[in-house]
Amino acid sequence: MKTLIVLSIVQSAFLILLLLSKKEKSRSGSILSFWLLVMVLSQLFYLLVYHYPEALSQRLILVLACTPLLAGPAFLFYVAELTQSKLRFWPLHLIPYGVFVFYILLNADNLAIDNGFLLSINGSSLVSSYYGYLFVLIPFLYIVWSYSFFKAFEKRLKENYSNTEKINLDWLKKWILEAVIFMLVSFPTIYLATRFNLFPREYSFQFIAVFNTVYIFVVGYFGFKQTTIFSDVISLSENNPKYQKSGLNDQLADVYQSRLVIYIEKEKPFLNPNIKAKELAESLGISVNNLSQLLNQYEGKSFYQFINDLRIQEVVKLMNDKEFSNLSNEGLAYQSGFNARSTFTKAFKQKIGISPSEYRKKLYKPIG
């Protein structure tokens, strides 16, 4: 375990240096550096407790024991920045950490760390009794909060873009879900160790230390594979889901809808694989918010679904045209505005009910 923890600290330090050395620094990169620094300090705590307990003074080790309380807020700050979510009064999220550090320093002479657990030397205390639960529940709440930001972002993304393959932040979703799974496992682990002594207490915090190690490696992997983790490339316009004060009534909606139909038939903007809601709205001479409301309330679709449905209609049209019978399904998809095979296949099944290959087999199946 010692080797893994040391490697995680080294990799975190390397990623921080990489982020700080970028010429074009981003706010999300700075926040990610902060989260990585928190993880370094957390891992340093586990390393010292289990392998070098005499390396630092007891007071400093106690302060390091508070560091995991920063992991949740740092995680939320990073997700909020990536998903362009509003996070008000963010300094308030640092209060639990500050309060706990103050308590630790005030009562340092009566506290000790044993196998990762905070203990009261002169009898049990409320803080030492529930220390482990606090360090699991608080991060779990922040992870759930982060996931709500991601889901809202995913919805806004489909209101603005027709293709989301390179900007969908699916890696972030996996990152959050992995953390949720870990929390669901770690809480019972700590509870069973502390309340029922089903296995040695140190195993529960060793489990957390190992998970943190793996998690940092996951961050490193996505950090190098996904360019969006180190740069801000997604731009979303604000959409009001309730469309209050939009000024779009039924009469005006009919005018905009007629304008939309004529423009779609004449210009076929869906053939542009990178068409955005903002560009289509500008072509129609309406606001992005009105376009979103028009599609949501009167078409029952997001911009993403609306454009991809038009592309599927184009694909079906080409499939029924013998002139294009020599093209593959992927070729027809690219011809119709798709830029990813997976998106095309999924959209086709949702719209037609069967796969593109099955549809073409039925289309060319001999009669009799």
SS3 111: strand
Residue 244 has pLDDT above 60, yes or no: no
Q: Does the pLDDT at position 157 exceed 70?
A: yes
pLDDT of residue 228: 46
For residues 123-150, give the mean pLDDT.
77
Domain topology for 2-229? Rhopdopsin 7-helix transmembrane proteins (1.20.1070)
User: What is d(CA 368, CA 363) in angstroms, rounded to the nearest whole number?
Assistant: 14
Prediction pTM value: 0.80
Predicted confidence band at 291 (pLDDT cuts at 50, 70, 90)?
Answer: very high
pLDDT of the residue at 231: 47
Our measurement of the distance from residue 331's CA atom to the centroid of its chain's CA atoms, rounded to an integer in Å, reads 32
CA-to-CA distance for 357 and 362, rounded, in angstroms?
9
Sketch the domain layout of the chain as residue ranges. 2-229, 250-363
For residues 43 and 213, is the Cβ–Cβ distance under 8 A? yes
Q: What is the CA radius of gyration of the chain?
A: 27
For 92-114, the pLDDT digits (tens) are: 999 989 988 998 888 888 888 77
Please give the Cα distance from 359 to 41 (Å, whole number): 56
% of the chain residues with pLDDT over 70: 85
Neighbours of 337 (CB within 10 A): 24
User: 27-61: buried (b, 16+ CB within 10 Å) or exposed (e) per residue?
Assistant: ebbebbbbbbbbbbbbbbbbbbbbeeeeeeeeeeb
- The pLDDT tens digits for 4-33 are 888 888 888 888 888 888 777 778 888 888
Using alpha carbons, select from 147, 157, 155 the residue that is nearest to residue 183. Answer: 147
| 84 dihedral zone (left: phi>0; alpha: psi -120 to 50; beta) | left
Mean pLDDT of all residues in 138-151: 90
State in words which class domain 250-363 has: mainly alpha
